[in-house]
Amino acid sequence: MRDQLPNHRPALILAPMQDVTDLPFMRVIARRGAPDWFVTEYFRVHPDSCPHPYILRSILENETGRPVFAQMIGRDLPSLVRTAKQLAELPIAGIDLNLGCPAPIVCRKNAGGGLLRDPQEINRLLGALREAIPGLLTVKTRVGYAHEAEFPALLEIFRSHGIDGLTIHGRTVQERYQTPVHPDCVHLAVATMSCPVIANGNIVDVATGLAYLDQSAAAGLMIGRGAIRNPWIFAQLAAHFDGTTPPAPTHRDLLEYVTELYEEIARETRKFLPAAHVQRMKKTLAYISHGLAGSFEHDMRRANSPEDFFRICRAHLDHPTPLPALPPADSKLFCGFESLLRSNELD
Ligand SMILES: Cc1cc2nc3c(=O)[nH]c(=O)nc-3n(C[C@H](O)[C@H](O)[C@H](O)COP(=O)(O)O)c2cc1C
């Protein structure tokens, strides 16, 4: 991962998000300021799996000019090794192992975040993957399953396998998305790991990104939901580090983004069904409409047809008012983001 780091500023990375960060999303984001690299949504790996063709497209047809890491989730060692070898044949920057997904169905199978309950199994998997693949091997983890006190022992295992990069969503699995993040855990990783460490979780604007960097000394920032909400966030952060003028998007810019996303995803959908497409878009819109003035969020939940969808978007977004930098302070969606800012005030 060291080769992917820009030499003049912290790295900026789009977080993998299942059913969101596909090829059309990557394209639309890249037009507003590409991250330094992408990570695919996870490839589910089990004895009968083969890499999902739709996710493969974000590797094979990636025209953003930025590298992409392929992420795997699973617990079956021979299948993980087999899949890693297959993926390593493709134009990827490296293989990333998911040790963070909190979905109960995933954790029950002892995959994703569920693996954090079994450090010796992680030890075995990383040892085998390291031996099997010649390229970069990175890990995306949470800071423990039940408690962040588990983290030092996990770091010890990551370190012993000489992984090439570590991204940390600074919450435990049990904290899901409901708490502030733990920048001190990311800081501990920076102090003890020799590979680049990337901080993730709750970055919603330039100030929260800078606060997370301040408190963790991470080599970069990975941003997920904050980039759905504000696709200019990578350009804004890059402008901050470069001392140039950051983009200041308006509601009308947001309308253009939503329209582009709608059309790009529609274009890549094999069997386009208007009502189903609107339902899919509404999942993404939940992050975009959240906290905007008026009844946009409420009205969008009731859209059933493309006509409804665009009528509601135009009614609420077709004006030049600047977008708010932050979600609402009591946001249930970006829970605890403000604590990053508060911690900095205490310094
Ligand atoms: C809809 C959704 C899908 C996600 N899918 C993945 C995934 O496929 N792989 C992964 O490592 N993390 C996944 N995540 C977690 C994000 O990559 C990220 O760690 C998390 O959202 C915290 O970062 P944020 O606050 O910037 O969103 C997903 C998150 C969301 C909201």
Rg (CA), the chain: 20
Query: What percentage of the chain has pLDDT greater than the value 90?
Result: 95
Do 309 and 278 form a contact (C-beta atoms < 8 A)? yes
- 96 CA closest ligand 1 atom index: 11
Do 153 and 105 form a contact (C-beta atoms < 8 A)? no
For ligand 1, the distance from its centroid to the CA atom of residue 320, given in whole angstroms, is 31
For ligand 1, the distance from its centroid to the CA atom of residue 111, given in whole angstroms, is 15
How many C-beta neighbours within 10 Å does residue 346 have? 5
The whole-number pLDDT of residue 347 equals 57
- 283 CA closest ligand 1 atom index: 1
Out of 107, 115, 141, 169, mutate this one to test ligand 1's pocket (max ligand atoms within 8 Å of CB): namely 169
Task: Read off the pLDDT of each residue in 254-279 and give the average, rounded to a whole number.
Answer: 96
Out of 12, 14, 17, 26, mutate this one to test ligand 1's pocket (max ligand atoms within 8 Å of CB): namely 17
| Residues flanking ligand 1, CB < 6 Å | 15-18, 20, 41-42, 71, 98, 100, 140, 169, 200-203, 223-226
For ligand 1, the distance from its centroid to the CA atom of residue 104, given in whole angstroms, is 15
What 310-314 contacts at long range (C-beta under 8 Å, 24+ apart), as own/partner pairs, is: 310/259, 313/255, 313/258, 313/259, 314/255
Out of 12, 18, 55, mutate this one to test ligand 1's pocket (max ligand atoms within 8 Å of CB): namely 18
Tell the residue nearest (CA) to atom 1 of ligand 1.
17
For ligand 1, the distance from its centroid to the CA atom of residue 16, given in whole angstroms, is 6
Residue positions annotated with a catalytic role = 101
Q: Where are the beta strands (DSSP E) in 178-285?
A: 197-200, 220-223
- 41 CA closest ligand 1 atom index: 8
Distances in whole angstroms, Cα of residue 232 to Cα of each of 50, 187, 236: 34, 27, 6
For ligand 1, the distance from its centroid to the CA atom of residue 248, given in whole angstroms, is 25
Tell the residue nearest (CA) to atom 15 of ligand 1.
17
What mean pLDDT is reported for the chain? 96
- 167 CA closest ligand 1 atom index: 19
Task: Encode pLDDT of 63-102 as tens digits.
Answer: 999 999 999 999 999 999 999 999 999 999 999 999 999 9
The whole-number pLDDT of residue 274 equals 95
Q: How confident is the model at residue 210 (pLDDT cuts 50, 70, 90)?
A: very high
Q: How confident is the model at residue 343 (pLDDT cuts 50, 70, 90)?
A: confident
3-state secondary structure (DSSP) of residue 89: coil
Task: Encode pLDDT of 4-32 as tens digits.
Answer: 999 999 999 999 999 999 999 999 999 99
- 73 CA closest ligand 1 atom index: 9
For ligand 1, the distance from its centroid to the CA atom of residue 272, given in whole angstroms, is 26
How many whole angstroms separate alpha carbon 329 and alpha carbon 346? 18
Tell the residue nearest (CA) to atom 13 of ligand 1.
17
